[in-house]
A and B are shown apart, each in its own frame.
Chain A
Amino acid sequence: MTLLEVKDLAVEFTTAEGVVRAVRGVDFTVEAGRTLGIVGESGSGKSVTSLAVMGLHRGAAVTGSVRFQGTELIGAPEETVRQLRGRRMAMVFQDALTSLHPYFTIGDQIAEAHRAHFGTGRRAALARAVEVLGDVGIPEPARRAGEYPHQFSGGMRQRAMIALALSCEPDLIIADEPTTALDVTVQAQVLELLMKIQQDRGLGIIMITHDLGVIARVADEVLVMYGGAAAEQAPAETLFSTPRHPYTQGLLDSLPRLDAADGDPLHAIPGSPPSLLSPPAGCAFHPRCARYAAAPEEVRAVCTDGRPPLRLVAEQHRSACLLDPPSAGRTTHQEVTA
């Protein structure tokens, strides 16, 4: 069952220095019980995409279509979005300490969400808060519900955020870098918890992260974003085994891996991510692209002419590269000489 269908989503901000085109036409769907991983570096547009889906894009111009369980959210009255947000779709943010209110107890904050959406009485809502805190593995939930965010450790706070998201039994959870601020042993616990909850309740999850390891761990489908647009989209196994877009390939080649042979060199991608204020003409990746650099002048002119569309390159596998050869060839960057 399709929970969320996003088509041609674009987000623009007007700043003093000009218009920032943070997201430039992104398509994806999220199915119930499945996890879509959105991966990208800073400025790729991955977080802005999620905020736009949730209707949390203050001051930005959003166009395109976001259909959640059949309801169009773009252009919908604020009240419609408000009734869904936190109820049918919920968000888990990276930094639980700034996302939770420091003056209210954890239990009160969870209960408040429940009361707002269901009109539950104070006592029943608090009981519900204690229940979900228990569900996410917080020991002594009845006592901990009476504590404030600063009394929780980083991992426990992130669990409390997940409890808050779960309290109204949503169908979709958007998790934006939920484990980035956590230590790796605690990250493993939180990912485990999210996967267990998904299994138990058939939730759809959007996992936004820069960490390809986290994507490999939890995602069924993956969307790779670069410079505000989709670079590649594929089932997770396909993406990691046969990446097609030169950016995805470059990203995987530049990653030090625990499972690599000892002494394998890293192949860095030269240059830096593009500025969204003045993005390069054509394909946003071309100034850093090994395939572009290797192609003859007349062939690669397409890379600067216009933005390459996402094209089907294999079953369920899309890549936005006009130089992408029909059979999966791989151009790697030479060993980094910095």
Chain B
Amino acid sequence: MTAPLLTVQDLGMTFPGGNGTFRRRAGIRAVDGVSFDVRPGETLGLVGESGCGKSTTGRMLVRLLDPTAGRVGFHGRDITRIGQRELRPLRSKLQIIFQDPFASLNPRQTVQQIVSAPLRAQGTEPKRIAAEVRDLIRLVGLAPEHLERYPHQFSGGQAQRIGIARALATRPELVVADEPVSALDVSIQAQIVGLMERLQRELGVAYVFIAHDLAVVRHISHRVAVMYLGRIVEIGDKREVYERPAHPYTKALLSAVPLPDPLAERRRERIVLLGDPPSPANPPSGCTFHPRCPKAQQICRTEAPLLRITSADSARQAACHFPEG
């Protein structure tokens, strides 16, 4: 097995709670004890509902947020506590793509300026930059005549291609993609997913693909981590997580996604969870999923389950006292 590219250990993020009327409120634990590896050239999907901490985790991986606990290792080196000067050369190897392509592209810069920015920051010879940018723009399926245009002259799908070109400019080894297709129309989503897959084949880049859409994540990922209220509740090979989910939350989540097939929809066994996901500001005791869990027992209310291997024949892990699969 190849050495991991990225090693995440016990990562945590507690946001300060702000001032209450008379006293400081307790902090909000957005991410708590998250651990995983990403190997070179693979895609790890990070799924979960709003507020589960998946985007916060993604931002910590590229140090857009400084974690309050744990470490992120890149090629075995802890990057969580190094200074900006040491971080700078690493930034070229660790990139990020955002959900809203328009909000993440400077409206007053041309595509040429946007895509060349990382190269300039890295100190690439000015002579080589123009040629590299042309290559990049072709790589993502746009044409060199697009280089003099501004972001507003593009459709959402094209703008996302520009964001991808910028992220790939410095030949990163890992790209964190935070909901890269969820703002796009269905017919355009497939274009971008196809592009990301092709780029992975051609460039060997690894992805941490963050999304709430379980079908997209299944399509693009090799391994998948499911998050709930700041923690990973299940992680493993894509096929196992989707076909034999061990955690009741994973199971419920999968059964809640409507299939584009009316006959299958009618026959389907559905687990409808009660209530909304709880607030991370005031998480339930024990297993944080217990108030909504159809299988909850006494122990679930008092003891938080650890993420562990649930069956002898696989490396998949789940955080449940009563796992299935």
Contact = CB atoms under 8 A, between A and B. Distances in A.
Interface stretch (B71-79, B261-269, B302-310): B261-269
Given A258-B214, A269-B190, A42 B185 contact: yes
Interface string A188-199: 110110000000
Interface residues of A, number: 52
B197 to A, nearest CB: 8
A40 to B, nearest CB: 9
Interface stretch (A5-13, A16-24, A109-117, A207-215): A207-215
A259 B264 contact: yes
Interface string A82-110: 00000000000000000000000000000
A206 B256 CA distance: 21
Contact of B254 (A215, A258, A338): A258
- The B interface, classified by DSSP as helix, strand, loop or mixed, is helix
Interface in A1-42: 41-42
B262 A237 contact: yes
Given A154-B276, A272-B157, A272-B188, A216 B258 contact: yes
A129 to B, nearest CB: 22
Contacts of A254: 186-187, 189-190
A185 interface: yes
Interface string B147-168: 0000000011110000000000
Interface residues of B, number: 52
B276 A186 contact: yes
B113 to A, nearest CB: 24
A187 interface: yes
Interface string B284-322: 000000001000000000000000000000000000000
B218 to A, nearest CB: 6
A282 B277 CA distance: 48
B216 interface: yes
Interface of A: 41-42, 153-156, 183-189, 191-192, 210-217, 219, 236-237, 240-241, 250-252, 254-260, 262, 265-270, 272-273, 288, 335-338
Given A258-B215, A266-B219, A336-B190, 19 more contacts: A154-B276, A155-B276, A183-B212, A184-B49, A184-B257, A192-B272, A216-B260, A216-B261, A240-B262, A256-B193, A257-B215, A257-B259, A258-B218, A258-B259, A265-B194, A268-B188, A268-B191, A272-B157, A337-B194
